[in-house]
Structure 1
């Protein structure tokens, strides 16, 4: 089963109105999008090829990865900031890559944060040289600590739907010449396995065969093997969720701690809920969106959270949407009888006439300056959703190629799906910044 089922007290919403609805059951998906398994691609050592080769490869398929940097190996900070701006996770791999972290958990985090701006800062650490971590130091500074014992030293690398047994020792499987995963079939076989088990797989890659890897010269991996794995994942995106390690960790921790509480809908043909958890630490706000479905016979719906319109769909007797924990009341309205929403005409933010055509899942920022200490991101994900990142509290407007407004909403959590529609070019405006994106 790929969801957590939560019984909700039946809530009448318009007893005497035609089509009166009752909220009976709500479910939080085990993995985002009600997929059956999760996979995280992690890259160690801050290789030049991670920027020049891995970044474009992941962009091609609409997926995001985790890049673990060694401070003193002088990574391409601007290049990795660019990856962060596109929604990838930047994480710590120590200051010096010595025989152990040598107490560098806090200092490497601070050092990387002085160069890289992303909403949560540095929340993931990958221990160098496959060493056993200082668990207390990990938990004081990060939400997840990755090690590299996955089948590399004959140790267990399987994680089920409840995640690792120890968040300071999250296993990953080595790839490349010295690792277990060498070919596309090796990667896809592992992803098929976690789909069957509702589990989570993490992959550990250093440099690529025949590429500029700098210090990441251990166990080079055939980049075509990963390209093939991402292509397979995109073709099977309904079953496998590919996301950065820190994001999967947030989702999993939130899902295990969250509950759904019924609220007064306030009108007929309306049901309302609140999604809450009480996770608290000094590292993360834990506001990654959780995927929810509500059983209903409504055919057309509108879903909002704290007034922000959420992407939703109706399928197989369920209403599906993503919502952010502790971000306000969720209201689901039966919109079947309502008049269709008309597109309003407005002048979209203009891009440079020399701006190149952008491909699916790419991001062209106009500009990409930090706002309020965070870097905004907008991209098309593997499922064809226009997705924004780091936009909490900001207004979001989506324009089609004719300049018509097709969606207005506001930012909620770390990552938010804001629109999916017909193929074509769209302009997404977040606050006073804009992105040109193409849905294929």
Structure 2
């Protein structure tokens, strides 16, 4: 006999249709478990929410919260700058929908409502690259309990799991755990208005603890005199510091996480798939809910009574991923996500030994040395040793490893086994015979400039000698100089064969390492190319000296490193760089995050003139002319300087509702 039941909520987009196949063999509920009202069994939950995407949110609120390890929900309208929102999301804050234009929703047509709520939510997700799951009504319009506004809430519910209104929490009932008794209540969440006049916030926070419930706190501007519901910075930081005092008791969560947890807990159920030892040395459970898996996936905190026949738990996994757990008064406490795979406890019905593997020597050795491995000794324990999972002839708690491989010990107590952690042992060679090697800070350098060489030789005893030969034209003659670092320059260009000979203590054995470095010689304007995953551009260079010249070169997927020295005529040098594609000047698309444009420059001034390097952002803002903003300036000296200028912060201007691309001109004079 099969019975099929189908459940559909009044908010159909919010609930998945659940088809239950009930067979004659029943699914057993897991014995004696509880799910915490809030994550990590906290006594209440609080969400800090920020409306309108004001600059004080990312300039002040987010940095202050980050330093304290707190998170918040930031409701945004149309974003002119995505980077702050992406960075905030990356560190745990929530970015949420506050409509595109901040219009009162009840005054909009059905099509306009769709554009402001649903279409804008999709745009945010496309632009930012992560889901947007909660909503806030501009001016609170649409979030009221009046049934006239339900059509707005129904529109919001199609793409959001909850919405915050601006209706105030006016009595203790609004703080209780059962703040949402129906689906629709999740789209009318109340809040506390936070402003400078709000001085009783510490008492308000404690209402959440006393009721075991939840509340949101609404901020607008921070440290902005004249701003809407402004709160001064010192007052805001006092609020954050007060939250830190109760952080161990109250869950400070984003609006999305708090509501997600609350809704999941209401419908979650933990069932037994296999009882302990029914299918081997494991215990298999399944945690489910009746909500959309792509929207509702926050871990629930569970306390599960440990059966008496389970003496030892070796590990816990869900969907193949390790779960952290603790044993508290014969209960297993852990966090798991509903509908995220079976929860499998690896169990034993006996007590395992409590042991640690101790390594008493370095694990990289030379022959014939060995590594001493030791496990806790107990007369009731028996010991076995393994190398690369192959059992060795050893039964003591101490083992000496002489070969490369991964070693561990299996220890048993009354036949109940436990494996120690594995230790890798490596053989570097024969003791007293070094392995010569060295590194250089660069592999390509300019004439008369320094390269630093340092020995990275291994298998050393401390008595080795080092003989360096830096090649033709080097500033240091061949000889014994120690391991370095060695600073060397070259008077001639070309490839240089650098050789290090290290002599060890065993029969004075030599080992030799050779490497090639390349020396360039540029006397005036020139280029040095590096691999760069940028678009295909043709680069046109204009160098003006006493006898000026220009030339055109094309590089595919390359960047330029510019080497500008003083002119051989002692005149000032000028360098300008424009960008062409198919012989047509074309600006960079500075908004492409995958591109990350950076100009690498190497330059110096002559002895007879002052020089500078400047980066100008040039934007056509009207047909009358060009606006030039100097966004980078460096004084050059008579010594080479290497520096980078990052263009990724250049932005697009908007003039007469038409976006105009940035172009850029670089100049040295």
TM bracket (short chain): 0.5 to 0.7
Q: Is the 8 A contact 2:118 2:155 kept in 1?
A: yes
Label 1:84 to 1:341 Cα distance change in 2 as closer, same or farther (>3 A).
farther
Per-residue Cα deviation, 1:15-54 (whole angstroms, up to 9, x for no partner): xxxxxxxx63111111000111000010011111211222
- Per the normalisation by structure 1, the TM-score is 0.64
Alignment correspondent of 1:433: none
> Counterpart in 1 of 2:174?
158
Q: Deviations over 1:295-325 (max 9, x none)?
A: 2376765221122111112223322111011
CA contact (8 A) 1:275 1:324 kept: yes
RMSD, matched Cα: 3.0
Following TM superposition, by how much is the alpha carbon of 1:81 offset from its aligned partner in structure 2, in angstroms? 0.9
Q: Residue 224 of structure 2 contacts residue 231 of structure 2 at CA under 8 Å; is this kept in 1?
A: no
Residues 95/229 of structure 1: CA separation in 2 closer, same or farther (3 Å cut): same
Q: Kindly tell me: are residues 234 and 177 of structure 1, through their superposed partners in 2, closer, same or farther at Cα, counting changes over 3 Å?
A: closer
Pairwise mapping of residues 6-45 of structure 1 onto structure 2 (< 5 A)? 24-45=31-52
Question: Aligned-pair distance for 1:345?
Answer: 6.5
Aligned twin of 1:387: none
- Distance between the aligned counterparts of 1:31 and 1:245, measured in 2? 13
- Cα deviation, residue 107, structure 1: 2.4
Match of 2:190 in 1: 171
The verdict on how the C-alpha distance between 1:83 and 1:254 changes in structure 2, with shifts beyond 3 A counting, is same
- TM-aligned CA distance change 1:192 to 1:334, over 3 Å: farther
Q: Select which of 50, 59, 65 maps to 1:52.
A: 59
Q: Which runs of 5+ in 2 are unaligned?
A: 1-25, 144-151, 353-416, 426-440, 442-669
**Please, which of 119, 132, 137 is the counterpart of residue 142 of structure 2?**
132
Asked if structure 2 preserves the Cα contact closer than 8 Å seen for 1:45 and 1:70, the reply is yes
* Matching of residue 271 in structure 1 with residue 283 in structure 2: yes
Give the stretch that moved more between structures: 337-346 or 138-147. Answer: 337-346
Equivalent residue for 1:432?
none
Give the 3 Å change call, closer, same or farther, for CA 44–262 of structure 1 in structure 2.
same
TM norm structure 2: 0.43
Q: Deviations over 1:152-186 (max 9, x none)?
A: xx5888143234241111111110046xxx34xx3
Query: Which residue number in structure 2 is paired with residue 360 of structure 1?
Result: none
Distance 1:237 1:205 in 2: 20
Which residue of 2 is the match for residue 293 of structure 1? 303
Correspondence 1:280 to 2:296: no
List runs of 5+ in structure 1 lacking aligned partners. 1-7, 12-22, 347-352, 354-440
- Partner-residue secondary structure (3-state), 1:46: coil
Distance 1:108 1:157, change over 3 A: farther
1:167-218 CA-to-partner distances (Å, cap 9, x unmatched) read 111111110046xxx34xx33322211111110110100111248xxxx921
The correspondence for 1:252, drawn from 249, 262, 272, is 262
Q: Is the 8 A contact 1:48 1:75 kept in 2?
A: no
The aligned counterpart of 1:321 is: 334
Q: Distance in 1 between matches of 2:236 and 2:330?
A: 37
In structure 2, the partner of 1:243 is 253
For residues 252 and 344 of structure 1, do their structure 2 counterparts lie closer, same or farther at Cα, with a shift above 3 Å needed?
farther
- CA–CA distance in 2 between the matches of 1:45 and 1:196? 31
Whichever structure has more strand as a proportion of its residues is: 2
1:238 to partner: Cα distance: 3.1
1:388 is matched with none
Cα distance, 1:234–1:314 mapped onto 2, change above 3 Å = farther
Cα deviation 1:215-255 (Å, max 9, x = unaligned): x9210123334433433433433320111101111111111
Q: CA deviation at 1:57?
A: 1.9
Q: Residue 283 of structure 2 aligns to a residue in which SS?
A: strand
Which residue of 418, 424, 431 maps to 1:339?
Answer: 418
Q: Deviations over 1:367-423 (max 9, x none)?
A: xxxxxxxxxxxxxxxxxxxxxxxxxxxxxxxxxxxxxxxxxxxxxxxxxxxxxxxxx
Cα 1:340–1:48 change in 2 (3 A) is: farther
| 1: CA distance, partners of 2:234 / 2:272 | 49
**For the residues of structure 1 that align with 2:418 and 2:244, how far apart are their CA atoms?**
36
Q: 1:115 aligns with which of 122, 127, 134?
A: 127
Higher relative contact order (CA 8 A, sep 6+): 1
Distance 1:271 1:238 in 2: 32
Indicate the residue corresponding to 1:85 in structure 2: 90
CA distance in 1, matches of 2:240, 2:422: 36
- Write the distance in 1 (CA, Å) between the matches of 2:174 and 2:64: 26
**What is the distance in 1 between the residues matched to 2:229 and 2:122?**
29
- Distance in 2 between the 1:148 and 1:340 partners? 58
Residues 312, 227 of structure 1: alpha-carbon distance in 2 compared, 3 angstrom cutoff: farther
Seen in structure 2, the aligned counterparts of structure 1 residues 157 and 79 have a Cα distance that, compared at 3 Å, is farther
- Whether the aligned pair in 2 keeps the contact of 1:303 and 1:330 (CA below 8 Å) is yes
Larger CA Rg, structure 1 vs 2: 2
Out of 101, 125, 128, which is 1:96 matched to? 101
Matched, 1:203 2:217: yes
Contact 2:56 2:224 in 1 (8 A): no
How far residue 272 of structure 1 moved from its aligned partner, in angstroms, is: 2.4
How many angstroms does 1:98 deviate by? 2.1
Aligned counterparts of 2:59 and 2:213: Cα–Cα separation in 1: 31
**Could you tell me whether the CA contact under 8 Å between 2:134 and 2:163 is conserved in 1?**
yes
CA contact (8 A) 1:310 1:322 kept: yes
